[in-house]
Amino acid sequence: MPIIVVTSLTFFVIVLLSMRLLPLEIVVLGVPVVLSLTGVLSLEKAFAGFSEPAVIAIVSLFILSEGLSRTKVVRKVALLLDSLRRRHPVLLVPAILGTVGLFSMFLNDTGTTALFLPVVLSLLKESRLPEKPLLLPMGYAAILGGSATLIGTSSNIVVSGYLEGQGYHPFRMFDFFPIGAGAFLLGLVYLGLTGKRFFRWTEGKATPAIPQEERTFDLELVLGADFPYLGKRFSESPLKTQTGLSLRIAHPSGILSARARAQSFLRASWDWSRKIGPPNAPPMPHTPKSANPEGEVMVQGLHLHVVATLSQLHKLGDLRGLSLLPVQHSLPAPGEEVIRPPLDRLLESEDWILAQAMLSPRSGMIGRKISSLHFLLPPDVDIVGIHREESRRIPGELSDLTLEAGDLLLIQGPRRAVEDLSGRNLFLYLDLFERETFRSDKALIALGILGGVVLSNVFAWLPLTLSAVSGAILMVLSGCLTIEEAKNAIEWRVVMLLGGLFPLGWAIAQTGLGQLIAGLLTSQGHTLSPTLLLALLMGTTALMVQFLSHNLVALIMAPIAIALSRVLHLSPYPLMMGVAFSATMAFLTPFSHPVNTLTWGPGEYRFSDYTRTGAALLLIAFLWGLFEIPRRFPFGLH
């Protein structure tokens, strides 16, 4: 009776998940419920999958990956790739594939793909290259790279956890490396030789660097002494080559005297009381606009009137020595030096925010010079940019601009002060620019925590689960992550999938279903050789994983592999390694692996693209695993 229940339940789970007839959460939560109601497992055992050490380890790895993302580790790598793109464009594609594969070994294949996908899309746009020839190979590189370590893919942790649950020593961090790294290198060679045949680099049109629907703002940047590109032309600096800013005019610093500012303030106050436009303020000295402003040599204190989108402005956080010049000037005391916080620190501050504000006709700001409006805003809120239709854009210094109906202001300041402006009659609407918060000063701490997790498992100082949980806690305590960011980083669907299906693997082993299948496979007088059994086990796993979750397949095949090893008196390690490695061979369909799903939409792939490209890759990986696994893990019992 229990065997019939478990067999039927396994069949229905496979059908429901493969055909997507019910939500995944309903299916996987129904598994422990059915096993408990039918008496196959006790209530405690049926729901113990959610407390399984392997599940907790995977949850912790999600948090560790988010810690590296929030500390800009991935962004710094992206800057190196962009520098390589400009110096050696031919090396960009192999560098991306190699980098993604390397990161997948320690950050999980799915997490790495999610982190690098926007980075790679941006690099391709700046290189004027189409997405299709690279995104699918990048996904394959992530999957193959993740197969090379214990923490590189969740199915490796699942197989190792099941092995430990059966009383065997679990796999260590780099036990997978000879098999996975070899497959990764062979896969890179294959993708490099055949990529152009499957996807032509000339297909389609590259996406423009600046989306047309994004608003552009006129801003003024000030170069500080620590700007790393002083002495270079604007056109040669990352402001142009990396961020894509457009320079309208550059002029040296020319700050009004305190007396002139006071006169401007008094005149503006008098005009405000009379509701008339202000007289012209004393002009700011500036250099006449050159024929080619982007050829300007950048020096300390230079003011750059640039045109940028909000996303481009956000990219400036990667550069030191830049500050935004408020276009409405404050009134410093005589002899007081104006201190502007660096832009990179402001963009990483959780308390500082940008907002777009549409002028209200009743605000009294229409027809007034923007430089005289500081007394209408809180002292810690600044106007730093303005959006105006291209046909009405006025070149020159923004502080001399007269505001018109329809102008959109870009303001900055503390979050609470900016949000309070929405309750005043100054603006028709106030749109906050929410952005991800990064902490680049914590990058070395995050790398050190991840290194500690890896080393503690390599040298067997701590079990993987304990080291991973400790690392996740340290990420929060060290300030690399907030507790909310850590909670949001967890992929709860994966947690529910593993917690609900671990009991199914236990039921397969407990009811003897695994032994029954092993007996059927060996019913011909034990004539099957161990290598042939490994090939059969790997082939079945690789076939199932094209249509089912690799974690589900690992949980179904692991008990069968253990049963086969016991019936044939073989070591369980080569068979379990075969299951783990084959569970990563999800190359043939876009829904066989989360990595494939992530690249499917942006690359605009067809179903056949995965089949044509992945078939040979699957064969290469399969043959390599069949050759290398018995060499590294002999079949004989120790």
The more confident residue out of 361 and 552 is 552
In this prediction, residue 258 has a pLDDT band, given cuts at 50, 70 and 90, of: very low
pLDDT tens-digit profile of 174-200? 899 999 999 999 998 888 777 555 445
The more confident residue out of 7 and 472 is 472
pLDDT confidence of residue 332:
45
In this prediction, residue 208 has a pLDDT band, given cuts at 50, 70 and 90, of: very low
Average pLDDT, the chain: 77
Rounded Cα gap, residues 303 and 100, in angstroms: 39
pLDDT confidence of residue 372:
66
Q: What is the torsional sign of CA 208, 214, 215, 217? A: negative
In this prediction, residue 201 has a pLDDT band, given cuts at 50, 70 and 90, of: very low
Burial of 135 (0-12, 13-18, 19+ CB in 10 A): buried
Furthest CA-CA distance within the chain: 105
Residue type, 505: G
Lowest mean pLDDT among 5-19, 131-145, 147-161, 475-489: 5-19
Task: Indicate the DSSP class of residue 351.
Answer: S
Lowest mean pLDDT among 32-41, 568-577, 597-606: 597-606
pLDDT confidence of residue 578:
94
Rounded Cα gap, residues 602 and 132, in angstroms: 8
Phi-psi region of 252 (alpha: psi -120 to 50; beta: other; left: phi over 0): beta
Q: What is the torsional sign of CA 616, 617, 621, 627? A: positive
Answer whether residue 466 shows pLDDT above 60. Answer: yes
- Placement of tokens 């204190």 in the chain: 301
- Placement of tokens 């552009």 in the chain: 216
Answer whether residue 257 shows pLDDT above 50. Answer: no
Answer whether residue 29 shows pLDDT above 70. Answer: yes
Task: Indicate the DSSP class of residue 386.
Answer: E
Rg of the chain in Å (alpha carbons): 30
Residue 389 dihedral angles phi and psi, to the nearest 5°: -55, 145
Rounded Cα gap, residues 34 and 40, in angstroms: 9
Winning range, highest mean pLDDT, from 300-309, 373-382, 448-457, 501-510 = 448-457
Q: Are 236 and 328 in contact (CB under 8 A)?
A: no
Annotate 343-374 with b (16+ C-beta within 10 A) or e (fewer).
Answer: bbebbbeeebbbbbbbbbeebbbbebbbbbbb
Phi-psi region of 526 (alpha: psi -120 to 50; beta: other; left: phi over 0): left
pLDDT confidence of residue 625:
94
pLDDT confidence of residue 272:
47
pLDDT confidence of residue 524:
53
Q: Are 418 and 379 in contact (CB under 8 A)?
A: no
Answer whether residue 262 shows pLDDT above 60. Answer: no
Winning range, highest mean pLDDT, from 74-88, 150-164, 494-508 = 150-164
pTM: 0.68
Answer whether residue 70 shows pLDDT above 90. Answer: no
In this prediction, residue 288 has a pLDDT band, given cuts at 50, 70 and 90, of: very low
pLDDT tens-digit profile of 124-174? 776 666 777 778 888 899 999 999 998 888 889 889 988 888 888 889 888
Answer whether residue 392 shows pLDDT above 70. Answer: no
The arithmetic mean of pLDDT across residues 596-600, rounded, is: 81
Q: What is the torsional sign of CA 393, 394, 395, 400? A: negative
Answer whether residue 632 shows pLDDT above 50. Answer: yes
Winning range, highest mean pLDDT, from 46-55, 171-180, 334-343, 409-418 = 171-180
Rounded Cα gap, residues 441 and 437, in angstroms: 12
pLDDT confidence of residue 394:
58
Rounded Cα gap, residues 295 and 35, in angstroms: 73
Answer whether residue 374 shows pLDDT above 70. Answer: no
Answer whether residue 51 shows pLDDT above 70. Answer: yes
The more confident residue out of 482 and 18 is 482
Rounded Cα gap, residues 622 and 631, in angstroms: 15
The more confident residue out of 248 and 408 is 408
Lowest mean pLDDT among 140-149, 413-422, 425-434: 425-434
The more confident residue out of 379 and 265 is 379
Residue 305 dihedral angles phi and psi, to the nearest 5°: -85, 105
Answer whether residue 255 shows pLDDT above 60. Answer: no
| Domain spans, the chain | 2-204+444-632
Q: Please, what is the end-to-end C-alpha distance for the chain in angstroms?
A: 36
Rounded Cα gap, residues 126 and 82, in angstroms: 9
Q: Are 587 and 614 in contact (CB under 8 A)?
A: yes
